[in-house]
């Protein structure tokens, strides 16, 4: 396995995409969710996949520096085209593509639009339609930024934990305190680029019917205690994609890949091994 190197910059689709590459083997491209950098995958999933013999590429979506922030706004199609162009730039396609949350939505759309670039796809904590609660949270996040409201850090950490972690995690006082400390030490900063990402959630179209056209092998992972994107939404996506495998991880919230990394990694490795 090759040693990890510093972020690289690919000039693709008219913008700069910062990416990190580690490992040797079949190409796995990992797509992160709203407001988060690609290095979030480095805590658990990237090292496990590289150790198992994959060439793993993580990247910062447009909107997340040092990739181009594109603060004037962009669309889902732009982000899909970014991912496609990065795979072509890497020269290792078709790729195994793994995405979570917004990254899963991008993965679904990429698999539908460019099946030639996708060997197989994994969608984690995903959705194919908007819900009133999801819409309200996104509207509120945009309003906080637009009105220049900064929440007290302790309160922001608590709300972030409540929305993204399982009650099983938060019921243990020591574990909850550890998570609150981690979130507090590394808060998500809403930059102009992140604000542009948040705009994507305004009036997102229902796409479940379209996903019946996905032809690549697919696995959908839902998290049983996900308050942000409840597992029923992930199951709807799996039901829409012909032949898709659905798995649900217990005692996991929206950050389930961080809360239950051993189980998420087991599912990833099991599925991907059957695609190479």
pLDDT digits (tens, 9 = 90+) for 179-216: 999 998 877 788 999 999 999 988 788 999 999 999 99
Evaluate whether 94 touches 120 at the Cβ level (below 8 Å): no
Active site residues: 101, 226, 254
pLDDT value of position 6: 63
Calculate the average pLDDT of the chain: 94
Is residue 218 predicted with pLDDT exceeding 50?
yes
Q: Does domain 8-131+205-273 have CATH number 2.130.10.30?
A: no
Beta strands per DSSP E along 47-161: 55-59, 95-100, 118-124
Q: Characterise 90 by phi-psi region: left (phi > 0), alpha (psi -120 to 50), beta (else).
A: alpha
Of 213, 222, 268, 261, which is closest to residue 241 (Cα–Cα)? 213
pLDDT value of position 7: 87
pLDDT digits (tens, 9 = 90+) for 24-78: 999 999 999 999 999 999 999 999 999 999 999 999 999 999 999 999 999 999 9
| CA dist., res. 261 & res. 247, Å (int) | 14
The whole-number average pLDDT for the span 2-11 is 73
Q: Would you tell me how many other CB atoms lie within 10 Å of the CB of residue 137?
A: 17
Backbone torsions φ then ψ of 222, nearest 5 degrees: -105, 155
Give domain limits for the chain. 8-131+205-273
Residues of the chain with pLDDT > 70, as a percent, come to 98
Of 57, 27, 64, which is closest to residue 42 (Cα–Cα)? 57
pLDDT value of position 5: 57
pLDDT value of position 204: 84
Of 236, 219, 235, 229, which is closest to residue 255 (Cα–Cα)? 229
Evaluate whether 110 touches 220 at the Cβ level (below 8 Å): no
Backbone torsions φ then ψ of 141, nearest 5 degrees: -65, -40
Tell me the pTM.
Answer: 0.94
């Amino acid at each position: 396995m090759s040693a990890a190197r510093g972020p690289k910059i690919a000039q693709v689709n008219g913008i700069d995409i910062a990416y990190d590459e580690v490992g040797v083997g079949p190409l796995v491209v990992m797509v992160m969710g709203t407001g988060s950098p690609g290095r979030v995958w480095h805590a658990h999933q990237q090292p496990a996949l590289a150790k198992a013999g994959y060439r793993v590429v993580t990247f910062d979506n447009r909107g997340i520096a040092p990739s181009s922030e594109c603060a004037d706004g962009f669309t889902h199609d732009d982000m899909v085209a970014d991912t496609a162009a990065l795979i072509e730039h890497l020269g290792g396609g078709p790729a195994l593509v793994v995405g979570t949350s917004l990254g899963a939505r991008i993965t679904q759309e990429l698999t539908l639009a460019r099946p030639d670039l996708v060997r197989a796809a994994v969608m984690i904590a995903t959705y194919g339609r908007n819900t009133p609660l999801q819409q309200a949270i996104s509207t509120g996040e945009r309003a906080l930024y637009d009105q220049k409201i900064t929440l007290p850090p302790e309160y922001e950490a608590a709300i972030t934990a409540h929305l993204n972690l399982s009650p099983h995690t938060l019921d243990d006082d020591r574990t909850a305190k550890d998570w609150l400390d981690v979130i507090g030490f590394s808060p998500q900063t809403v930059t102009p680029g992140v604000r542009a990402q948040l705009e994507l959630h305004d009036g997102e179209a229902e796409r479940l019917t379209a996903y019946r056209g996905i032809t690549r092998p697919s696995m959908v992972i839902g998290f049983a205690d996900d308050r942000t994107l409840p597992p029923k939404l992930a199951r709807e996506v799996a039901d829409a994609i012909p032949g898709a495998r659905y798995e649900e991880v217990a005692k996991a919230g929206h950050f389930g890949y961080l809360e239950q990394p051993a189980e998420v990694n087991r599912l990833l490795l099991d599925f991907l091994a059957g695609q190479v």
